[in-house]
Amino acid sequence: MSECTHDCSTCSQSCGDRTQPQSFLEKPHELSDIKKVIGVVSGKGGVGKSMVTSLLAVTMQRRGFKTAVLDADITGPSIPKAFGLHDKAMGDNNGIYPVMTKTGIEVMSVNLLLPDETDPVVWRGPVIANTVKQFWTDVIWNDVDYMFVDMPPGTGDVPLTVFQSLPIDGIIVVTSPQELVSMIVGKAVKMAEMMNVPVLGIVENMAYYECPDCKSRHSIFGESHIEEVAAKYGIQSTAGMPINPKLAAACDKGMIELFEGDWLDKTADVIENLK
């Protein structure tokens, strides 16, 4: 048996000195008011997680709630571009203030702090994780009903930091139709279970393409597996989003707040009914 370090968080042994697990939750800024925090996760990159985050924030804002987006994808921040934000976040002695979108959604992202939005973020894991924490502790979020946290893909350092440091009320898993998705979704779902965070729903992006002329649907990336994946992991809410050139163009032009579509309405219902 190795010598005791008196650090129970790094030890798997059971002894008389073991203490109860310590909470790693960080307190928000004293001037912040945040009611619900929803994480948006994916097992792999390139499935449209940031777009789904943006659409959910816009949808809930349209329902009369005050929403915010904390962009925790530090090395691949795309939230500001989707909303057409180019102003820099400002601060004073009280703290840092998020940037407001045209419809009043509060946003904080590393791209709102960099001198040039194309500058790469070449930081090591601990620095990135601490930056995410500071977006929670140092930013003044004003009377937010629903905060959406756009997490980086996978189950690494930053998602773990978000799960441990922020009071996540539930997560939405974003995926795509490929066969291997079941395994990847499983990893994200099991990580949430380990952190005692409920999975509120699965959104399958790029689920189909609808012909604008005949309105027939085509499964470009293969047949959907979302229902069987949801059933396997006991997830009640599912949603399918199409391959939509207009939606992609809206993101590229920073006009996501003008989108038209009801694909995420059921997912929004689940979020709105969250106790």
Say if residue 229's pLDDT is above 90. no
Residue 180's pLDDT is what? 63
**At a CB cut-off of 8 Å and minimum separation 6, what does 86 contact?**
80, 117
Q: Say if residue 251 is exposed, middle or buried (CB neighbours under 10 Å; 0-12, 13-18, 19+).
A: buried
Confidence of residue 1 (pLDDT cuts 50, 70, 90): very low
**How many C-beta neighbours within 10 Å does residue 241 have?**
21
Share of the chain above pLDDT 90, in %: 61
**At a CB cut-off of 8 Å and minimum separation 6, what does 176 contact?**
46, 47, 48, 204, 205, 206, 207, 221
Lowest-pLDDT choice from 70-79, 145-154, 187-196, 250-259: 187-196
Residue 182's pLDDT is what? 72
Residue 219 corresponds to which tokens in the numbers above?
Answer: 């499964």
Say if residue 5's pLDDT is above 60. no
Residue 105 corresponds to which tokens in the numbers above?
Answer: 């959604």
Say if residue 160's pLDDT is above 70. yes
Confidence of residue 154 (pLDDT cuts 50, 70, 90): confident
Say if residue 132's pLDDT is above 70. yes
What is the rounded average pLDDT for all residues in the chain? 89
Q: Is 64 left (phi over 0), alpha (psi -120 to 50) or beta?
A: left
**How many C-beta neighbours within 10 Å does residue 80 have?**
23
Say if residue 80's pLDDT is above 70. yes
Q: Tens of pLDDT along 31-57?
A: 999 999 999 998 888 889 999 999 999
Q: Tens of pLDDT along 179-211?
A: 566 777 888 888 999 999 999 999 999 998 888
Say if residue 106's pLDDT is above 70. yes
Question: Model pTM?
Answer: 0.89
Residue 3's pLDDT is what? 59
